[in-house]
Structure 1
Amino acid sequence: MVRLRKVNAVTISPSSTGVDVVLPCLNEAGALPWVLERVPPGWRALVVDNGSTDGSAALARSLGATVVREERRGFGAACHAGLLAATADVVCFCDCDASLDPAHLVPFVHEVREGGADLVLGRRRPQARGAWPAHARAANLVLARLLRRRTGLRLHDLGPLRAARREALLDLGLTDRRSGYPLQMVVRAADAGWRVAEHDVPYLPRAGASKVTGTWRGTWHAVRDMRAVLGEPPVARPRSRAGGG
């Protein structure tokens, strides 16, 4: 059970934030106050409403977040709409269901800015029974192994908590608009020669029902989308690092 209280998220003009946090949202009114309260001060929260019917958009706006509307349904569609709306040098991604704390992105951003990595991912570590259903965890393990075979990256998780530079992400030319978006980002980053890092992060039971991995059917659809991404041929581009000043 996530304890909620009304908060006022800090909102600063895009030119001075330095970090935008993309929060794809579909009916997450129960979790939004908890999530937005934990967005680091000075960062801009971009809540991408993907067709919510529970007042999520209005609630996010009342709590100080910038709301982006994406009519096309799909996790990737929402994430990419947030990326296109972002203006900060560094962009982070985080689920909006209170399973992940956006405050854990702070060291990720430091690592990107200091040149230690081009893309930093969070490896989810369940903190309670039921935080990560067995079928979803098994599917993630299989996909991580397939990813290793495809790219050579020794990653353990394809979780949604991540940070990278905005312009470099746009240069990857991401096309998936469904559940394969997070995986496509990693695959194309590897093909472009990016340095990819992975760090443990606490993973909590989400607030409300999962739209993707909470059911066998949702997990199957996610795996199908991701396997399609793994089957794509490498995109021809110069192998270069994404680092910036």
Structure 2
Amino acid sequence: MTNSLSARGDLVLPCLNEAEALPWVLGRIPDGWRAVVVDNGSTDGSAALAERLGARVVHEPRRGFGAACHAGLLAAEAELVAFCDCDASLDPAELPRVAEPVRGGAADLVLARRLPTARGAWPLHARLGNRALARMLRRRTGVRLRDLGPMRVGRREALLALGLTDRRSGYPLQMVVRAADAGWRIAETEVAYRPRAGKSKVTGTWRGTWQAVHDMRQVLA
């Protein structure tokens, strides 16, 4: 596992009861990247498991996806910071390709559009909610994205300068909105999207999806 002194990038992995997925996820971290697992109150031993597997573990007691993501951003030390779900639906091995436009100076923020690899990997209600938010984002900022993808890469100092305040599900959208308002070059690539390991907390349920869409709409209000 890459340490903080040699890391070319830090990968922030918000984590809430992901012990089933962690071995695969951490085993796929590419050379030059360091895993920063942000434990958001797990009760299944995720934090201890992540430490045993060589990840840096940050504890964020405030519940919320945004709270975990931002704690990871604050803890990151590398120039490039990536974010990725910790449920094995996305492959961290894709990071070097996703990050290359930022590393090479062609983009300031890259988001990875999810391409489902199996039926049920991305439920219809979640896709519809995501599509609606993408349309709202385009009307608000002019940025054309097909997916508000959870795998994304930017530069640490620039991300911190956005002053992100949302600590719930609106955090990923607020990042894009504020980046667009700041004149960032925002690009989109594609990654495979697999059925997640374990029980879904957001996209797998109507209630979770509705809450995420509600949080994100507040960002656009």
What SS class does the counterpart of residue 132 from structure 2 fall into?
A: helix
Is the aligned partner of 1:119 residue 2:109? yes
Structure 1 match to 2:52: 62
User: Alpha-carbon deviation of 1:212?
Assistant: 1.2
User: Alpha-carbon deviation of 1:11?
Assistant: 3.1
User: Alpha-carbon deviation of 1:16?
Assistant: 2.1
| 1:19-41 per-position Cα deviation (integer Å, ceiling 9, x unaligned) | 00000000000000000011112
1:11 corresponds, among 2, 27, 31, to 2
Give me the identity figure in percent.
75
Structure 2 match to 1:71: 61
1:26 corresponds, among 16, 28, 31, to 16
Structure 2 match to 1:236: none
User: Alpha-carbon deviation of 1:111?
Assistant: 1.2
Is the aligned partner of 1:84 residue 2:74? yes
What SS class does the counterpart of residue 58 from structure 2 fall into?
A: strand
Is the aligned partner of 1:109 residue 2:102? no
1:213 corresponds, among 175, 181, 203, to 203
What is the alpha-carbon distance in structure 2 between the residues aligned to residue 190 and residue 199 of structure 1?
17
What is the alpha-carbon distance in structure 2 between the residues aligned to residue 202 and residue 167 of structure 1?
28
User: Alpha-carbon deviation of 1:81?
Assistant: 0.2
What is the alpha-carbon distance in structure 2 between the residues aligned to residue 185 and residue 110 of structure 1?
19
Structure 1 match to 2:40: 50
What SS class does the counterpart of residue 16 from structure 1 fall into?
A: coil
Count residues in correspondence.
221
What SS class does the counterpart of residue 72 from structure 1 fall into?
A: coil
Once superposed, what is the RMSD of the aligned Cα atoms?
A: 0.7
What is the alpha-carbon distance in structure 2 between the residues aligned to residue 203 and residue 218 of structure 1?
19
| 1:130-176 per-position Cα deviation (integer Å, ceiling 9, x unaligned) | 10010000000000000000010110101110000000000000000
What is the alpha-carbon distance in structure 2 between the residues aligned to residue 61 and residue 11 of structure 1?
13
Structure 1 match to 2:124: 134
The 10-residue stretch of structure 1 (109-118 or 67-76) with the greater mean CA deviation from structure 2: 109-118
| 1:174-206 per-position Cα deviation (integer Å, ceiling 9, x unaligned) | 000000000000000000000000011100000
Structure 2 match to 1:197: 187
What is the alpha-carbon distance in structure 1 between the residues aligned to residue 2 and residue 81 of structure 2?
15
What is the alpha-carbon distance in structure 2 between the residues aligned to residue 152 and residue 42 of structure 1?
34
What SS class does the counterpart of residue 78 from structure 1 fall into?
A: helix
User: Alpha-carbon deviation of 1:108?
Assistant: 2.2
AA at the equivalent of 1:108: V
Normalising by structure 2, what TM-score? Answer: 0.99
Gaps of 5+ in 1: 1-9, 232-245
AA at the equivalent of 1:202: A
What SS class does the counterpart of residue 6 from structure 2 fall into?
A: helix
Structure 2 match to 1:149: 139
User: Alpha-carbon deviation of 1:105?
Assistant: 1.3
What SS class does the counterpart of residue 15 from structure 1 fall into?
A: coil
